[in-house]
Structure 1
Amino acid sequence: MGLFTSLEKTDKVRYKKVKEEGCVVTFSVEIPAAQVQDETHNYLLRLQQRAKIPGFRPGKAPLDLVKKEFTERAREDVLDGLIRKYVPEGMRELNLHPVAVPTVEDASYNEGKPARFQVLVEVPPQVIPKDYTKVAVRRKLYPASEEALAARLEELREANARLEKAAEEAIGKEHYAVIDYTGAKTKGEAELVDMSCEQVVNGLAEGLLGMARGETKDITVEINGKGSVLKVTVKEIKRKILPALDGEFAKDLGFNTVEELKAKLKNVMEDEGKAKSERELQQQIEQSLINSNHIPLPPSLVEAQLEHALERFRRQLLGEQGRWSDKQSDDLRVKLKPKAEDELRLSYLLPAIAQLEKIKASDEDLELELEKNLSAVEEAGKKEEVRKMFEERREAIADVIRDRKTMAFIRGKTIITEAA
């Protein structure tokens, strides 16, 4: 067809919602043929000024030849320009507020016809909170019983144990062996082996059992799934000695008597029990809110929340430089996804409740939060950094305070019963 192809007439750009599934809205866009032709002509004119076609100086090639030489490029670039122009207009027209970059599908146009494509937009959920007052939960108590206290004291003794030379001449399961070893690709000196624990090197503990001080022998082991032989020499045999639960032990830990140590430990255990009970109550309240409010979620934000959870978990377990294997990452994604979704649901639910209940972070709330942060640092320079950071993130901090106050409001109306 030529430059002056007859046009299929339509009135204006048409936007129409096609489908709405959860937080994903699909709408269609139809751009009149006349506008498409105008965009195409303008593009070709701009292209004509810089097109390099054999036999013609730049800007002098006939327009129909430019069109013939660059037909496919013109189609792609014009369509891309139409998408960039009319997708934002369509979202404004349909009052859609995207939370992620929209996706365009089925984009096409033929000369003389309107351009058509569909847009997938992820939008925030419409949240109408319910059942957030009189949430029923059960409080489980964790008293510091005599049995629990005795177990904690035993842990303290274990933590302060020491190793001494064993009277026995042969290694038993209750011993610690100090060994030198040499293998085809590995060696070590004065390595301590706890005979009561499972070993990373399969077969090592079994081979050491019964060996005497100074004895050397070859032990068949498995390292990283591969068989190997280690030449092992027993340098020493040791036994773990637990300190007696007496006044000397108490003084070593900074207390005057065993009773004073027990009293302090019991107070610590009671505080830990209360904190654990509070955490469980909070979890019950949050889970009740989530279960009562079925909130759809934007897929992209779920993915972002999941990535954040994975990164946080990786740093806790592996440190800054640690990396998951692909399988570990896949397994963890499955495990962490429900929690990531729940966190995201709460992030939508709490502000919605706050709006209904007219809960806000006041200037006084913000000032108190700033003072609390300032009191945690001593250097004047650091305090100034805190002030600057606070001002830069004032709105986000206000949101955190608002959510905290909202949860306190919900907690104040929660019905708590004591578990038997």
Structure 2
Amino acid sequence: MEFTAKKNNNASCDLTISFNASEVEVAYKKAYENASSKVKIPGFRPGKAPLNMLEKVLGDSVIDDAANIMLNNAMADLFDKLEHKPIRIPQFQVESFDRKTGAKAKTTYDTKPEITLPKLKKIKIQPKEIKIQDSDLQKELEGMQKNMARNSLKEDGDSVEATDLLEMNYKFKEEGKEYPEASQTGKYQMGAPQNPPGFDSELLGLKANEEKEFNFRYPDSFPQSPESAGKVFTYNIKVTALYKVTYPEINDDFASEVDGSANLQELKDKTKKQLADIFENALKKKAIDEAYAEIIKESKFVIPESLVKEETDGVFQNFMQEFGLPATSIAEYAKKLGKEEAEVRESFAKAAEKRIQTYLLKHKIGEEHKIAISDEEMEAGYEKEAATQGIPAESLKKEVQKQRAETFYRDKFLFDKIDEFVYSEVEKKSPKSVSTEEAEKLLSGKE
């Protein structure tokens, strides 16, 4: 057997293998042996007929099996000799296969992706630091206050006031349509920020068991229910119960009831720290993502097209599962959207390519800078992950072993360590101070 391998510039390799006649003959004999148990020859039990008799009966009918045997054995022998190794089993094109003259087969197979990194210290990012204001603290305290609301049933004859909680039966229909047969039941908090502007005023003054029908036009812009924006609906509402909602005063007693704080100032200090920690961690992750985005821009990637295609299909299926959509192909999904398959595939391919690039980037950084995870760091990683999930570390490790997910978690903890290394290496401009409102926009991608 002889071979030639030529590396291409697109993460692929051209491979040609030549075989002599004796190697072809060996492959034929192995194919006859494989077929012996399936061939019925008079006077012999299956698998017991002489090889020369099998050869007479089967002739060249086993040529495909013989070619596969020869090529599989060849790749097993060649794998360690190939400088650029295949990332999946190559599919060969057999150009000739003759018992007298030998055989020749060719393939172009995908090799490992290639990446060239820039100097990390040349990458520049501007971290953001959170500025917690008094108004942010007040908003958090008011949220706690609402969670501790007390509802007291109002007496018969009392009417709806601006901060009451209502239980009601109701029906509604769009203008020009009929009411549904069955009414619905629900609760409605007067004065809630998500309520449609002007809707509360229709309910003010109603009494328990009192019924009212009215028309209501939604504002032209109503993000809470975009499908209702600008439309007129007719409502039929019957109040079945009224509750007066009272909130505890935000003071030292309130702080003690929330979490046992000694006084209100202690609760504020703890709340401020918790809020700052949440935003600082999220903003740091955002900064690390920005660092990787800059590193990707300055890196050179050579990725096999087949790898991008596989990942594109994976990204698409994850998208369908995330939104609870029925499993289908990209082609069928594009058809339902009324778009070309190429256009839809391209949108998912961009996300797939970025995912591959980030994965390769982290591995390459870890490799070049000799970053690894020790057994102690694995244990610490499990402890941290278990705390996040609210379960004992031992329970998490047992589940990981059961699911055979050790590699996933080792990569996760390794990537966390690489993230910290990248953040420490890149050049960071003076941090920009941002409010919680600005931070929320940054983190949601709206800015």
What TM-score do the two structures reach when normalised by structure 1?
A: 0.64
- 1:367 aligns to what? 376
Q: Any idea what SS the aligned residue of 2:129 has?
A: coil
Alpha-carbon distance in 1 for matches of 2:312, 2:292:
19
Letter in 1 for 2:43: R
- 1:414 aligns to what? 426
- 1:8 aligns to what? none
- 1:149 aligns to what? 137
- 1:241 aligns to what? 245
Listed as ranges, the gaps of 5+ residues in structure 2 are: 172-178, 215-226, 228-235, 335-343, 433-447
Alpha-carbon distance in 2 for matches of 1:217, 1:348:
64
Q: How does 1:11-410 map to 2 (within 5 A)?
A: 12-17=1-6, 20=8, 22-41=10-29, 43-44=31-32, 47=35, 51-52=39-40, 56-58=42-44, 59=49, 65-67=56-58, 71=60, 73-99=61-87, 101-107=88-94, 109=96, 111=98, 114-163=102-151, 176-179=166-169, 191-192=186-187, 213-214=208-209, 234=238, 236-238=240-242, 241=245, 243=247, 245-247=249-251, 248-254=253-259, 255-298=261-304, 324-326=325-327, 338=350, 341-360=353-372, 365-367=374-376, 369-370=378-379, 382=394, 406-410=418-422
Letter in 1 for 2:67: L
- Please state how far the C-alpha of 1:270 moved relative to its aligned partner: 2.3
Alpha-carbon distance in 2 for matches of 1:269, 1:380:
26
Residue deviations 1:171-198 (CA, integer Å, cap 9, x gap): 99986433389xx999788543568768
Alpha-carbon distance in 2 for matches of 1:407, 1:171:
54
- Please state how far the C-alpha of 1:89 moved relative to its aligned partner: 3.6
Letter in 1 for 2:240: E
- Please state how far the C-alpha of 1:145 moved relative to its aligned partner: 1.6
- Please state how far the C-alpha of 1:144 moved relative to its aligned partner: 0.7
Q: Structure 1 pair 243/22, CA: closer, same or farther in 2 (3 Å)?
A: farther
Listed as ranges, the gaps of 5+ residues in structure 1 are: 1-11, 200-204, 220-224, 226-231
Query: Percent identity between the aligned chains?
Result: 14
- Please state how far the C-alpha of 1:57 moved relative to its aligned partner: 2.9
Contact 1:171–1:212, Cα closer than 8 Å, also in 2 = no
Q: Structure 1 pair 178/76, CA: closer, same or farther in 2 (3 Å)?
A: same
- 2:441 aligns to what? none
Q: Structure 1 pair 367/381, CA: closer, same or farther in 2 (3 Å)?
A: closer
Q: Structure 1 pair 170/149, CA: closer, same or farther in 2 (3 Å)?
A: closer
Letter in 2 for 1:325: P
Count of residue pairs the alignment pairs up: 376
- Please state how far the C-alpha of 1:133 moved relative to its aligned partner: 1.8
Letter in 2 for 1:415: E
Q: Structure 1 pair 262/98, CA: closer, same or farther in 2 (3 Å)?
A: same
Q: Structure 1 pair 299/268, CA: closer, same or farther in 2 (3 Å)?
A: same
- Please state how far the C-alpha of 1:130 moved relative to its aligned partner: 1.8
Alpha-carbon distance in 2 for matches of 1:328, 1:272:
39
Alpha-carbon distance in 1 for matches of 2:96, 2:413:
51
Letter in 2 for 1:326: A
What TM-score do the two structures reach when normalised by structure 2?
A: 0.61
Alpha-carbon distance in 1 for matches of 2:381, 2:328:
43
Alpha-carbon distance in 2 for matches of 1:78, 1:397:
43
- Please state how far the C-alpha of 1:41 moved relative to its aligned partner: 4.9
Q: Any idea what SS the aligned residue of 2:130 has?
A: coil
Q: Any idea what SS the aligned residue of 1:127 has?
A: strand
Contact 1:28–1:117, Cα closer than 8 Å, also in 2 = yes
Q: Structure 1 pair 77/355, CA: closer, same or farther in 2 (3 Å)?
A: closer
- Please state how far the C-alpha of 1:120 moved relative to its aligned partner: 4.3
Q: Which moved more, 1:137-146 or 1:299-308?
A: 299-308
Contact 1:165–1:236, Cα closer than 8 Å, also in 2 = no
Letter in 2 for 1:367: E
- Please state how far the C-alpha of 1:66 moved relative to its aligned partner: 1.0
Q: Structure 1 pair 186/417, CA: closer, same or farther in 2 (3 Å)?
A: farther
Q: Any idea what SS the aligned residue of 1:144 has?
A: coil
Alpha-carbon distance in 2 for matches of 1:380, 1:194:
39
Alpha-carbon distance in 1 for matches of 2:56, 2:383:
71
- Please state how far the C-alpha of 1:342 moved relative to its aligned partner: 3.9
Q: Any idea what SS the aligned residue of 2:121 has?
A: coil
Alpha-carbon distance in 2 for matches of 1:49, 1:272:
68
Letter in 1 for 2:57: V
- Please state how far the C-alpha of 1:341 moved relative to its aligned partner: 4.1
Q: Any idea what SS the aligned residue of 2:114 has?
A: coil
Q: Which moved more, 1:166-175 or 1:37-46?
A: 166-175
Alpha-carbon distance in 1 for matches of 2:170, 2:2:
81
Alpha-carbon distance in 1 for matches of 2:16, 2:96:
14
- Please state how far the C-alpha of 1:85 moved relative to its aligned partner: 1.6
Contact 1:27–1:120, Cα closer than 8 Å, also in 2 = yes
Q: Structure 1 pair 29/269, CA: closer, same or farther in 2 (3 Å)?
A: same
Contact 2:132–2:272, Cα closer than 8 Å, also in 1 = yes
Q: Any idea what SS the aligned residue of 1:266 has?
A: helix
Residue deviations 1:1-23 (CA, integer Å, cap 9, x gap): xxxxxxxxxxx443443x73633
- Please state how far the C-alpha of 1:74 moved relative to its aligned partner: 0.8
Q: Any idea what SS the aligned residue of 1:295 has?
A: strand
RMSD of Structure 2 on Structure 1 (CA): 5.4
Alpha-carbon distance in 2 for matches of 1:339, 1:293:
17
Letter in 2 for 1:40: Y
Alpha-carbon distance in 1 for matches of 2:428, 2:249:
40
Letter in 1 for 2:280: K
Q: Any idea what SS the aligned residue of 2:278 has?
A: helix
